[in-house]
């Protein structure tokens, strides 16, 4: 169907205090800067989120500068090329929201999903700090999570995973090394002793051959994240049989459409996909949840209500978690109510 003409494009730059410091791979986040985007076309609103992570993606300063530059061009009918993946993602999400709303169907249906509940997951960071890890685990258990992804590194792996197994014996546990074991194959292989749902990115991002070799030596599934930045890199990992599954993050990939392309390539090759998180608000998480209902996303996700991450008030209807499962909204489009007043109150800058 033909969509109405785009009438407006707006964006807000936000700074959200974290409920606790997020620490991983030398990065510490106490205040989270993101941008949210709104597009309007006829009677339809579309929302998207731009959520770069320092040290892992291009910066929020680069993304915000690009949004300021291109949003007026979009309204005038131009189609400028965006260089920052997280900015592309926000616009792609907003467009997809409008497309689904115009069809009168939930976003998950528009993407080809089933609307099934998916397993949520709590990311537990703060490597080396047992008190902080214990507090994060206790909080996640109280909130109903039944899967934990533990950030690990050499010398800090058996202890936090053991804590998770002890505190929640019936929960599943995965680990994310963010490439922390590039020179320690013995320690990487020892992760296989921890009864894990998966091992994410144990070796350096560019070491696909090493991941393929490690994969053949252990039982736990190997998942790749950092090297998966586009369809070509995903196909390279698939061709080298370097992973049992690929992490799909719409923000890092530039939107839902490129995420769908990687999902399709992985499923066609007979390997899995896992929905990763980028510390988004409930707007970004609702988009990712819709994607995670597609067949192939069988591994636990990094998703859950944003209030676990942020100390600020809600910006949108949170995703619903019950007994560790996340239930996608049933309304048309994204299916969440965005609180524009709440966004206005905390915005650092606005364009539109």
Residues annotated as catalytic are 151, 249
Which tokens in the block code for residue 329? 């909204």
Compute the half-sphere exposure of residue 242: CA atoms within 13 Å on the CB side of its CA. Answer: 27
Contact 118, 325 (CB under 8 A): yes
Tell me the H-state helices in the chain. 60-75, 85-103, 107-111, 130-142, 158-167, 185-190, 208-217, 231-239, 250-253, 256-269, 282-292, 340-346
Contact 115, 106 (CB under 8 A): yes
Q: How far apart are CA 272 and CA 26, in angstroms?
A: 29
CA distances from 337 to 12, 105, 346 (A): 17, 16, 17
Cα dihedral value 249, 310, 201, 169, nearest 10 = -120
Contact 156, 128 (CB under 8 A): yes
Q: How far apart are CA 277 and CA 104, in angstroms?
A: 27
Q: How far apart are CA 88 and CA 74, in angstroms?
A: 12
Contact 34, 59 (CB under 8 A): no
């Amino acid at each position: 169907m033909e969509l109405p003409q785009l009438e407006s494009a707006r964006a807000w730059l936000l700074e959200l205090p974290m409920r606790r410091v997020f620490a991983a791979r030398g990065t510490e986040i106490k205040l989270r800067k993101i941008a949210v985007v709104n597009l309007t076309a006829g009677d339809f609103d579309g929302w998207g989120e731009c959520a770069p992570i320092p040290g892992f993606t291009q910066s929020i300063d680069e993304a915000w500068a690009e949004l300021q530059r291109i949003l007026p061009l979009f309204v005038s009918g131009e189609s400028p090329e965006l260089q920052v993946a997280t900015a592309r993602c926000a616009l792609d999400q907003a467009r997809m929201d409008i497309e689904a709303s115009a069809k009168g169907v939930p976003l998950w249906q528009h993407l080809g999903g089933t609307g099934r509940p998916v397993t949520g997951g709590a990311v537990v960071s703060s490597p080396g700090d047992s008190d902080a890890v214990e507090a994060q685990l206790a909080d996640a258990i109280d909130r109903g999570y039944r899967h934990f992804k533990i950030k690990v590194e050499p010398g800090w792996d058996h202890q936090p995973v053991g804590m998770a197994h002890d505190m929640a014996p019936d929960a599943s546990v995965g680990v994310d090394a963010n490439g922390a074991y590039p020179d320690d194959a013995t320690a990487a292989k020892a992760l296989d002793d921890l009864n894990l749902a998966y091992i994410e990115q144990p070796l350096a991002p560019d070491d696909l051959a090493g991941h393929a070799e490690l994969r053949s030596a252990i039982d736990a599934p190997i998942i790749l994240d950092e090297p998966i930045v586009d369809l070509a890199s995903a196909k390279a990992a698939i061709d080298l049989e370097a992973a049992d599954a690929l992490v799909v993050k719409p923000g890092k990939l530039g939107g839902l459409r490129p995420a769908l392309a990687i999902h399709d390539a992985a499923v066609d090759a007979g390997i899995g996909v896992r929905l990763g998180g980028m510390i988004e608000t409930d707007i970004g998480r609702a988009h990712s949840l819709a994607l995670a209902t597609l067949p192939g996303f069988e591994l636990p996700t990094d998703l859950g209500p944003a209030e676990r991450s942020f100390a600020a008030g809600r910006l949108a209807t949170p995703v619903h978690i019950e007994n560790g499962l996340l239930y996608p909204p049933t309304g048309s489009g994204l299916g969440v109510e965005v609180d524009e007043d709440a966004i206005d109150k905390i915005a650092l800058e606005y364009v539109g």
